[in-house]
Amino acid sequence: MSASSEPLFLSGVIEGFYGPPWTPAERRQLWDWMVEAGLNTYFYGPKDDLHQRAIWRVPYDAAGLNEVGDAVRGCRERGLRLIYACSPGLDVGYSDPADLRAMEARLTQLMEAGVTEFCILLDDIPDAMRPEDQARWGSLAAAQADWVNAVYRWSRARTGGRFLVCPTPYCGRMVAARHGGEGYLEVLGRELAPEIEIFWTGPEIISERLDLDPIARLTQVLRRPPLIWDNLFANDYDGRRFFCGPYAGRPLELKRAVRGILLNPNTEFPLNFVPIQSFGAYLRAESGWDARASFLKGLEAWWPQWATVGAPLAFADLVTFADCFYLPYHDGPEADALARDVARCLGAPRPPDDPESLAVRARMLRLKDFCARLVDLTDRGLFHACHRRVWELREELDLIDRWWSHRIDPARAGTPFESDFHRPKTYRGGFVVRLQSFLKPRPDGSMALAPELAHESPPMNLRSESAT
């Protein structure tokens, strides 16, 4: 029996992103997808649910509590476990008895709605404490461990359910930067009750790979295997992209090295079908994991949702389109090949009838046409989920095509290229784009000042005239 089929192995989906929480109808669809994929856990913790984070002390009203109860029933009907997360870390007083009572009151309300398993999220918060907490515990990890243990003991006495925590430094880079303080994980692992699961995202917040050796070392530090919070498909940090590629960069042996794996996926619910299907296939696989094959199989199952009111789209074009929104660190092979071929054809002068250029341009225009025709999707939720990204992709393809046409037209030789549809300030414009021009990322992750700014005049004298 594989580790992923053991009752204690958690596999599922986290609704834990920044952005609009999913609707009750979307959650019901999610749970059905999860059952089909063989997953077992739904984790509720969207950052923008005010009661989950910003006003965690304030009780739910009747409508909010009914929604929680509906989620409990919906999961139970499908044989799924529901874990509810609370995020008190922004302003909790670890030594304040009133805050402990407030958390107990919150959990009591949720228990009355049927929730039995909980998580305390201490992620994405300042790593500073109130003076009274610092004086009592001396370190953030010790304060958090003591407080979480108290909540856990109170909860366990009433429900007996699983209890999870997400630490303040939850990836390798944060630990290396001493976020949370020196020796944070060592203290947490030593002081936290051994039954409490601890989340980990890997070497990065969005990890390209999850390798076994670092997981083994982390297990020793935490004194328990970690529970993976996997942000591979998360897109709340970049509104221009989404990710519908396969579950990749994780060896099959990972399943035997951790307590579970939960995906925190795209904010836009309809775009998560293939990632969930691929993840389920990964969990079922015993050997020879083929991420690309799982992606193509997932696309075939997703294909009926791409029906239009007009002539049907081509499946091959869906593959190319999905490859444009593959994974954070990689484009899919079809999109990667197209980008390379377009760059090669544009980078060297070629005659208008050059066969390779004509073939590459035809592929590019097929993708542009696919993007344009998505407006006819009968699944309007799917169209709206990807509309802004599709529009941007289509406009870039259109601009390249217009430039290409200009360059090979003898009548326009030597004239500047312009597009009536891509005008200054209105296209690729705005304050954010202006700011993006100031710092340029390097391949190693460091940032460099834009060359044009590095050679500007000396810094201004910031002293005001009135101060002289």
In the block, which residue shows the tokens 């959650």? 27
State the catalytic residue, choosing from 70, 99, 124, 369: 124
- As a whole number of Å, the CA-based R_g of the chain is 26
At 344 the three-state DSSP class reads helix
Judge whether 124 counts as a catalytic residue: yes
Alpha-carbon gap, residue 332 to 339, rounded angstroms: 11
Q: Are 28 and 80 in contact (CB under 8 A)?
A: no
**168: CB partners within 8 A, 6+ apart:** 89, 122, 123, 125, 127, 140, 144, 174, 179, 180, 184
Concatenate the DSSP letters of all residues of 51-96 into one string.
TTTTTTTSPP-HHHHHHHHHHHHHHHHTT-EEEEEE--TTT--TT-
At 165 the three-state DSSP class reads strand
Alpha-carbon gap, residue 245 to 296, rounded angstroms: 9
Beta bridge partners of 253: none
Alpha-carbon gap, residue 181 to 142, rounded angstroms: 11
Beta bridge partners of 14: 43
Alpha-carbon gap, residue 405 to 394, rounded angstroms: 16
Neighbours of 202 (CB within 10 A): 26
Catalytic sites, residue numbers: 124
